Chain A
């Protein structure tokens, strides 16, 4: 049985002057514990699709089922980390990471301790009382991840979480995130522009083409790469083969 099912998703944005079809005929299944990456040119509707899965926007057509049920936001089944960290600047780091638990009124001493320990596991010591602007970009991303994980979502969605970071920080965070997700056996969807990142982190890569956004092709990642942590996977010979394959496919999508 599939964990997440998308059936014939289509979405059109309406404004006074235009109607933009951002997505068309998106059907997709994701298994429990699977790590899927969405890859595709800018504007092909990746963020829109995540918002639809999260139940933030209603698709014009089609259905989203999580464990055969429509998504209910109040149940916090889905954790969604937006394209930027969006930490609340007027809240301390501790208040930020406990936000989700506070919102759905499940904050207790045990959960608080658990979340704070997750923060420390992410390599952030003694920052609980700081405000977001006192942290670096990479630290803020990690805090945002802790905030998303704190409510223990069944499905985690990450929208270009590492795109604003320098290369070294990015490689380190890839390993950290990958380890953390494996440990909790989380199902995850990652949106990225970076082919290498998609290959290094995921079990399956889904390539989108633009205007309107459709699924162009799907690439399974060989198990030799899957079982290695992202940094090690990048050094494997199979990595380059897959990279070139996807690169060519992306090139063919580019309009002349």
Chain B
């Protein structure tokens, strides 16, 4: 009885320590955040940095309010966000499907191998002008950019992980008479979920790059357009506002992927 109590006390102590540490981390994070913006504001107000170039949190905030009220921020944001999400989803799905195709046909994968390497090494955004001429200066070509930057690397990484699945899992399935299709569904795909999720995380960043560059080029709508416009009229408050909005939403997307990870990757390790 006595010993039980002692263990209980120790456990409580352990939990308390854990909580204390968590509070400390959160507090420090908040402190850095506040300090950063406070320094920025003060430096800008006192002209230590050029306010024309670096703007200041307060003027960004004011611009944010006015852009929110006239609805232009929401309009541009929704365009960019839908392009990015589309590019991200299409890139990942297409890449995974291509990887499945390569796994299905070993000959095809051997034939295509050098081409994949070349395509991967090439800077995809350099294809932007061609895409815009081919698909027109509209949403389609921007989504295509968002897709293009992620699809090849997804194909390569996912295909590699398909190949690295322990062949003995396939052997187990084959002793039960499984078809190739069943092997893919029961072993190859689920074994690769962790890899697919981590490419998803990379793809979040890549799709934003593709879409923003696409919007630079098309220069009609979206957050990328706001940046390039602000740059042209030398309104760096606008540029910084767009950047901050992008940072917030890219982070949100990342968090969503992590949520998905918790759902998909289950092996009792929680």
A171 to chain B, nearest CB (A): 26
| B48 close to chain A: CB less than 8 A | no
- Chain B binding surface SS class: helix
Q: Which residue, of B171, B186, B268, has the highest number of chain A Cβ atoms within 10 A?
A: B268
Q: Within residues 74 to 98 of chain A, which ones have a CB less than 8 A from any CB in chain B?
A: 74-76, 78-80, 82, 84, 86, 88-91
When the two chains form their complex, are residues B193 and A90 in contact, meaning their CB atoms are under 8 A apart?
A: yes
Cβ-closest chain A residue relative to B265:
A90
Q: Within residues 147 to 198 of chain B, which ones have a CB less than 8 A from any CB in chain A?
A: 166, 168-169, 171-178, 182, 186-187, 190-191, 193
When the two chains form their complex, are residues A133 and B269 in contact, meaning their CB atoms are under 8 A apart?
A: yes
| A245 close to chain B: CB less than 8 A | no
Collect the chain A residues with CB atoms within 8 Å of residue B187's CB.
88
When the two chains form their complex, are residues A73 and B175 in contact, meaning their CB atoms are under 8 A apart?
A: yes
Given the known inter-chain contacts A88-B186, A88-B187, A90-B190, please indicate yes or no for A131 contacting B172, CB distance below 8 A: no
| B23 close to chain A: CB less than 8 A | no
Collect the chain B residues with CB atoms within 8 Å of residue A79's CB.
175
When the two chains form their complex, are residues A104 and B176 in contact, meaning their CB atoms are under 8 A apart?
A: yes
Given the known inter-chain contacts A84-B168, A90-B193, A90-B267, please indicate yes or no for A78 contacting B186, CB distance below 8 A: no
| B266 close to chain A: CB less than 8 A | yes
Given the known inter-chain contacts A84-B168, A89-B267, please indicate yes or no for A99 contacting B174, CB distance below 8 A: no
The listed residue (B177, B193, B268) touching A74 by CB distance below 8 A is: B177
A73 to B171, CA, bound (A): 12
The listed residue (B172, B178, B186, B190) touching A86 by CB distance below 8 A is: B172
When the two chains form their complex, are residues A80 and B175 in contact, meaning their CB atoms are under 8 A apart?
A: yes
A57 to B15, CA, bound (A): 55
When the two chains form their complex, are residues B168 and A86 in contact, meaning their CB atoms are under 8 A apart?
A: yes
Collect the chain B residues with CB atoms within 8 Å of residue A89's CB.
267
When the two chains form their complex, are residues B175 and A131 in contact, meaning their CB atoms are under 8 A apart?
A: no
Collect the chain B residues with CB atoms within 8 Å of residue A130's CB.
268
A86 to B177, CA, bound (A): 16
Collect the chain B residues with CB atoms within 8 Å of residue A80's CB.
175
Collect the chain A residues with CB atoms within 8 Å of residue B268's CB.
130-134
B184 to chain A, nearest CB (A): 13
When the two chains form their complex, are residues A82 and B178 in contact, meaning their CB atoms are under 8 A apart?
A: no
Q: Can you spell out 19 A-B residue pairs with CB atoms less than 8 angstroms apart?
A: A51-B171, A73-B177, A74-B177, A76-B176, A80-B175, A82-B172, A84-B168, A86-B169, A86-B171, A88-B169, A88-B187, A90-B265, A99-B172, A103-B176, A104-B177, A130-B268, A131-B268, A131-B269, A132-B267
Q: Which residues of A contact B (CB under 8 A)?
A: 51, 54, 56, 73-76, 78-80, 82, 84, 86, 88-91, 99-100, 103-104, 130-134, 151
